[in-house]
Structure 1
Amino acid sequence: MDDFTHWLRAQDTVVTHAFATSDILNRLNRNLNGEDPATTRDATTTETRQFIAEAEAKFAANGQGLATV
């Protein structure tokens, strides 16, 4: 996903903005961990997938979803 997002952002003559769910989740994770850049996660790990599931559940419990962020 990150490779595709990077490629898409490089198409600046056609695409003006590109955001991936991973961008939002990485930012959320840094916010929850005191802005420590070392907390950026690899989306392929089981731990990260668990974090994503928990974040989505928290948003859904508040009547939101990651798609509305």
Structure 2
Amino acid sequence: MKFDSLMFFGDNGGGDQFAFVRRLERHEVFVWDHETDSRILVAPSLERYVRSALESDGVPRLGS
């Protein structure tokens, strides 16, 4: 997934950044790992990401 399609909105304090895909049909939230350049799914939607972050230590977990 290219950076052009991602909208970054936060980071985890260690260099990795959170982003969602800038397309109406896509709602997933990913984390970009700055060391490996990988994109990892962390939530199926921005709403689930925020809910998970508020219910945890601030770092959403996949499937939560």
- Alignment TM-score, normalising by the size of structure 1: 0.28
TM-score by length of 2: 0.30
Structure showing the higher strand proportion among its residues: 2
In our comparison, the structure showing a higher alpha carbon Rg is: 1
